[in-house]
Amino acid sequence: MTGYWGVARAIMGREFLRFVHQRERFLAALVRPLIWLLVFAAGFRAALGMSIIPPYDTYITYETYIVPGLCSMVLLFNGMQSSLSLVYDREMGSMRLLLTSPYPRWWLLFCRLLGATLISVLQVYAFLAIAALFDITMPLWGYIAVLPGLVLGGLMLGALGLVLSSFITQLENFAGVMNFVIFPMFFLSSALYPLWKMAESSALLRDICAFNPFTHVVELIRFLLYLQINWSALAWVLGTTALFAAVAIRAYDPSRALMRRKG
Amino acid sequence: MAELEVRDLGFRYGDKIALEDVSFARPAGSFCALLGPNGAGKSTLVSLLTRLLVAPDGHIILAGHDLEHAPRRALANLGVVFQQPTLDLNLTVRQNMRYFAALHGLPRKGLDAAIDAALDRLNMAERAAERVATLNGGHRRRMELARALLHEPRVLLLDEPTVGLDAASRAAIVAHVHDLADEGLCVLWTTHLTDEVRDTDHLLVLHQGRLLADGVTRDICGDQKLSDWFLSQTGGGA
DSSP string, A128-170: HHHHHHTT----TTHHHHTHHHHHHHHHHHHHHHHHHHHH--S
- Average pLDDT of chain A is 86
Q: What is the mean pLDDT of residues B197-212?
A: 92
Q: Element (H or E) spanning A179, and its range? A: none
Q: Is the pLDDT of residue B214 over 80?
A: yes
Residue range A67-71: mean pLDDT, rounded: 95
The yes-or-no verdict on residue A218 having pLDDT over 50 is: yes
| pLDDT band for position A255 (cuts 50, 70, 90) | low
Average pLDDT over residues B70-98: 90
In which band, very low, low, confident or very high, does the pLDDT at B22 lie, cut at 50, 70 and 90? very high
Q: Which residues of A touch B73 (CB under 8 A)?
A: 102
Is the per-residue pLDDT at B174 higher than 60?
Answer: yes
Please, which pLDDT band fits residue A170 given cuts at 50, 70 and 90?
Answer: low
Of the ranges A112-126, A174-188, B50-64, which one carries the lowest mean pLDDT score? A174-188
Cis link prior to A184 (omega < 30° from 0)? no
- At B143 the pLDDT is 93
Are B103 and A97 a contacting pair at CB < 8 A? yes
CB contact under 8 A, A93 and B103: no
Statement: residue B3 has pLDDT above 90: yes
B133 to chain A, minimum CA–CA distance in Å?
A: 13
pLDDT of amino acid A263: 41
B91 and A93: CB-CB below 8 Å?
A: no
From chain B, pick out residues whose CB is under 8 angstroms from the CB of A260: none
- CB–CB contact B95 A17 (8 Å): yes
CA-to-CA distance for A199 and B163, rounded, in angstroms? 61
Say yes or no to pLDDT of A25 above 80.
no
Using the Cα atoms of residue B104, residue B8, residue B189 and residue B41 in order, give the sign of their dihedral.
negative
pLDDT value of position A169: 67
CB within 8 Å of B40: residues ≥ 6 apart: B206, B207, B208, B209, B234, B237
Q: Does the structure show a pLDDT above 80 at B139?
A: yes
Q: Which pLDDT value is given to residue A59?
A: 79
Residues β-bridged to residue B162 = none
pLDDT average, residue stretch A156-178: 78
Tell me what the mean pLDDT of segment B99-108 comes to: 91
Find the mean pLDDT for residues B71-78. 91
The per-residue pLDDT for A171 is 62
- Average pLDDT in chain B: 91
3-state SS, residue B77 = coil
Mutate to test the interface with B, among A15, A96, A105, A256 (most CBs of B within 10 A): A96
pLDDT of residue A61: 84
- Residues of chain A with Cβ-Cβ distance to B105 below 8 Å are 2-3, 6-7, 101-103
Interface A-B, measured as beta-carbon pairs within 8 A, has a size of: 90
**Is the pLDDT higher at A2 or at B109?**
B109
Q: How confident is the model at residue A215 (pLDDT cuts 50, 70, 90)?
A: very high
Provide the pLDDT confidence category of residue B238 given band limits of 50, 70 and 90: very low
What's the rounded mean pLDDT across residues A193-222? 91
Q: Closest-CA residue in chain B for A108? A: B103
**Whole-number pLDDT of residue B236:** 56
DSSP β-ladder status, B155-159 and B186-191: parallel
| Res. A260: pLDDT tops 80 | no
pLDDT for residue A44 is more than 90: no
Q: Is A93 helix (H, G, I), strand (E, B) or coil?
A: coil
pLDDT category of residue A58 using cuts at 50, 70 and 90 = confident
Q: Decide if pLDDT at A231 tops 70.
A: yes
Q: Is the full-model pTM beyond 0.90?
A: no
Give chain B's contact residues with A (Cβ, < 8 Å): 13-14, 16, 18, 43, 47, 50-53, 71-76, 78, 80, 82-88, 90-91, 95, 98-105, 108
Give the model's confidence band at B237: pLDDT under 50 very low, under 70 low, under 90 confident, else very high.
very low
Query: Which residues, at least 6 apart from B136, have a Cβ–Cβ distance to it below 8 Å?
Result: none
8 Å CB contact of A94 and B76: no
pLDDT at position A254 = 58
Contact state of A103 with B105 under an 8 Å Cβ cutoff: yes
Mean pLDDT of A90-113: 83
| CB pair distance less than 8 Å for A96 and B84 | yes
A-chain CB neighbours of B100 within 8 Å are: 97
> Which residues lie closer than 8 Å to B235 by C-beta, 6 or more apart?
none
R_g of chain A, CA atoms, integer Å: 19
pLDDT tens-digit readout, B150-172: 999 999 999 999 988 889 889 99
Per-residue confidence (pLDDT) for residue B38, from 0 to 100: 84
**Is pLDDT at A46 greater than 80 in this prediction?**
no
Among residues B149, B148, B159, which one has the least CA distance to residue B34?
B159
User: Average pLDDT of A232-256?
Assistant: 85
Please give the distance of CA A67 from its chain centroid, rounded to a whole number. 14
